[in-house]
Amino acid sequence: MNRSQTDSMFIEELKALVNQESSIPNKLFNSIKSYYNNKSLSLELSIGDEVDHIKFGRGTVMSKDHACARIQFGSKERKISLDYAQKVLKKADGE
């Protein structure tokens, strides 16, 4: 195994586990894979938009720049990259 000095010694093992479809029931694996492959990358966020996050719940976009959005989820504000937001956020129902 060739690895650079900065790689974790577990990187190759983790890559192998992630790439083994048999470690996750095929139906679930295919469902997750399909979701992320078909996820639209056109989520447009504006200040004041209500969004839903699978872990943090409902939030409000407080600010946004070219790379990140600050979203208020309850009493906590989170800074989320726009690339990541495309994968984990959706506009709240009704928007």
Query: Residue 74: CB partners within 8 Å, gap ≥ 6?
Result: 56, 57, 59
Tell me the pLDDT of the chain averaged across its residues: 77
Separation CA 85–CA 83 (nearest Å): 5
- Which of 28-32, 33-37, 80-84 tops mean pLDDT? 80-84
Is residue 95 very low, low, confident or very high in pLDDT (cuts 50, 70, 90)?
Answer: very low
**Which residue would you say has higher pLDDT here, 37 or 50?**
50
Q: Are 72 and 80 in contact (CB under 8 A)?
A: no
For 43-85, the pLDDT digits (tens) are 889 999 999 998 899 999 999 998 899 999 999 999 999 888 8
User: What is the predicted pLDDT for the residue at 18?
Assistant: 63
Q: Record the pTM.
A: 0.55
User: What is the predicted pLDDT for the residue at 23?
Assistant: 55
